[in-house]
Structure 1
């Protein structure tokens, strides 16, 4: 449905315009009846007056002279003939012709000297083109001198009946159909459509502004859970939606804070027994057992710390600002080089609006993951007008294709393809994905063409200025 607009404002405007046109098409029949009545008024009056005058003359002549007088008064546009009796059944007239028929009879009765001695009935009233061609509704829009055709049966004072077939025009007065049609179309359709479009635009703009503010607030909430709440003003429905949105935001903040407090409390409570166990492990006489206890306790301590760090990093508590991607990557490469790791960078990128600390943590996790399992990291930077892509490749064993998506889940480690002895708790990639989503980007994993794993971080480039 290509004609159906995608925006709500466009759909409302289209519905209003189509509805207005449909209503106007129905009310256009009123204009047609009025136009038909005006076009037929002069022919009706002239034909009725002419028939009344001829009737006066026929009433005055002897019956023997009536055939000769009828032959004398007959013309190509006015024919009288005697009939034995009027039609027994009269066909019903249409609504617009019925009005013209009533006007014809009224004028005829007014012009007759003794109307009670005469009886008349109108059998047909129709519109004809110039040149006696049969007319139709379109004649009103293109014929400057439309002609009315009338079939009337009339009783004379002596009781005999005549049938008159008459054609009568506008008496030289143009109906100016083209001008009338253009004036009607311009004022009724064009101006009304323009007015409806303007009113629809104003109405839709007033209605859509609260929805636009709600969409912007939802977008800000995705970037920063602690963004300013919506103003609770405007119509009742808008106030209810704003109040519900603010309540949802408060519940999200409370849930995140409660989760953080819970894990912080658990971390604090676990550190004390872990510390006591470490002290007791040092008192063991068996060196081998002491080393095993020490490694297990260190792993438990690191797991608690990593879990708390993940929860704290899941919500961004910093302002977005322009980040020099080249400098950030160079700094990471320098930091890892001090530990003896090899990090190479290929490509350059322009500064990008982002959350600096979170983005650094994301890239640091990707590089650390590549070094841990592939012993080195190769960073490839590509950028176009729409997005920035940072690919971190390693030379490790890679991940089975059916486990690539699961590798991004928290606490999931691909033991089948990764060495469990290298450490880690399966949180680095999950944290990196959370940061990517906070930047409206994506993080995907794929196996390299020549082995190893490639982590692709794609961040969109917004045309607008830095948002807070």
Structure 2
């Protein structure tokens, strides 16, 4: 099981929320310690008041003091005179002893030499309380044992049991209120703030990733808005500069290739004239064939460049009318092309370029199979135009490469049948410019299925 999130958003949320929860746990542990002292405060102050009263009584009536102590005995309170107090037990709490000393001083008593020998919180069943007893005072009592010097070698030893006397809520109510306010609400606020902060931080990165993906489909896409924090504006500015450099470099390469291809026409024409002057018929035929191939490659290169250069206006296209027009053109040439299905709504795109892509796919099908079937599937999400034939198909290991410029197959789909390896490449380039893609697969029983897939949401 993978616990560490794969996304940057998830990792930042885990770090922020985990850190805040850890801080809350630390805060809770501090509260837990403070709560123990709070649970003892009232019993200790009551004990201080009783001790102070007995000290004052001893000062006023030292002779009658032993009898007065006996008269004060009751369940939960016992005071005796002893020669020396016992040692503190394992429940000794220095913080509670300091609180007791301050309380005695506040009430005018003598805290000199005062010892808190034992302190325990016990529930109604006389068992030492756990965490639940620290949330409320109901049923929770403090068992105290303390000793104070009276002078002349005698000590006043007091054993008493005192309740809280300050809470009317049940343990469950106080615990739920504590968990709700101290943990749940705070953690909820922290999580919401963490999600908001992480979303604000990750949003520009996600926007940049989408822009980079869209750039691969349409290099002429609008530039990123240079807004937001300084770092975001800097990244958007660098991205836009990169896009402009790509456009410039690609344009330069295309213009250079077009110029070279165009300039080759003149020497090819001169070679044709000189070929006709050859007396050897065999050599003349071979030269003609080579020149035909060269001229075909030049023409194909110029066609590829023109197909990649989408300088026409983008508009809503009637795909049904476009396919019907192409179907009629092929029928005039005696090729069997059928169309089934309909596009439910226009497609935003470049008219001549889309016609060129469909024409290339149909020409391939007619060239290698003698005919084609066109299937249209349209939905709210995507438009699919499938061109199917029953030709020789494409070897599976070459399906990924046939859309590369000038890549030709060595079998029946090759240049000997009239192709120069640019038709599918042009179709793919045009599909990408329409935020779509070209998909190729071999059909069962033989043949090829070429699908132009256009995203309706693009």
Query: TM-score, normalising length from structure 2?
Result: 0.84
Q: CA deviation at 1:190?
A: 5.2
Q: CA deviation at 1:397?
A: 2.4
Unaligned runs of 5+ residues in structure 1 are none
Aligned residues: 455
Distance change in 2, residues 1:321/1:11 (3 Å): farther
Distance change in 2, residues 1:194/1:303 (3 Å): same
Distance change in 2, residues 1:187/1:316 (3 Å): farther
Q: Answer whether contact 1:145 1:175 (CA < 8 A) is retained.
A: no
Q: Give the corresponding residue for 1:133.
A: 127
Q: Give the corresponding residue for 2:343.
A: 349
Distance change in 2, residues 1:368/1:233 (3 Å): same
Q: Give the corresponding residue for 1:432.
A: 427
Q: 5 Å matches for 1:19-418?
A: 19-54=19-54, 60=61, 66=66, 72-80=71-79, 85-88=84-87, 91=90, 93=92, 97-108=93-104, 119-130=113-124, 132-144=126-138, 146-161=140-155, 163-170=157-164, 172-174=165-167, 176=169, 185=179, 187-189=181-183, 192-193=186-187, 195-196=189-190, 199-200=193-194, 203-204=197-198, 206-351=200-345, 352-418=347-413
Query: TM-score, normalising length from structure 1?
Result: 0.83
- 2:114 counterpart SS class: strand
Q: Answer whether contact 1:379 1:390 (CA < 8 A) is retained.
A: yes
Distance change in 2, residues 1:83/1:439 (3 Å): farther
Q: CA deviation at 1:201?
A: 5.4
Q: Answer whether contact 2:262 2:298 (CA < 8 A) is retained.
A: no
Distance (Å, rounded) in 1 between the aligned partners of 2:135 and 2:180: 14
Q: Answer whether contact 2:356 2:427 (CA < 8 A) is retained.
A: yes
Q: CA deviation at 1:77?
A: 1.0
- 2:445 counterpart SS class: coil
Q: Answer whether contact 1:39 1:175 (CA < 8 A) is retained.
A: no
Q: CA deviation at 1:13?
A: 4.9
Q: CA deviation at 1:113?
A: 6.3
- 1:25 counterpart SS class: helix
Q: CA deviation at 1:386?
A: 3.5
Distance (Å, rounded) in 1 between the aligned partners of 2:109 and 2:187: 54
Q: CA deviation at 1:260?
A: 0.9
Q: Answer whether contact 1:314 1:435 (CA < 8 A) is retained.
A: yes
- 2:301 counterpart SS class: helix
- 2:377 counterpart SS class: strand
- 1:430 counterpart SS class: helix
Distance (Å, rounded) in 2 between the aligned partners of 1:421 and 1:106: 108
Q: CA deviation at 1:42?
A: 2.0
Distance (Å, rounded) in 2 between the aligned partners of 1:343 and 1:377: 5
Q: CA deviation at 1:362?
A: 1.8
Q: CA deviation at 1:149?
A: 1.9
Distance change in 2, residues 1:213/1:425 (3 Å): same
- 1:228 counterpart SS class: coil
Q: CA deviation at 1:343?
A: 0.8
Q: CA deviation at 1:7?
A: 6.4
Q: Deviations over 1:144-169 (max 9, x none)?
A: 46422212233343323454332111
Distance change in 2, residues 1:115/1:17 (3 Å): closer
Distance (Å, rounded) in 2 between the aligned partners of 1:402 and 1:235: 48
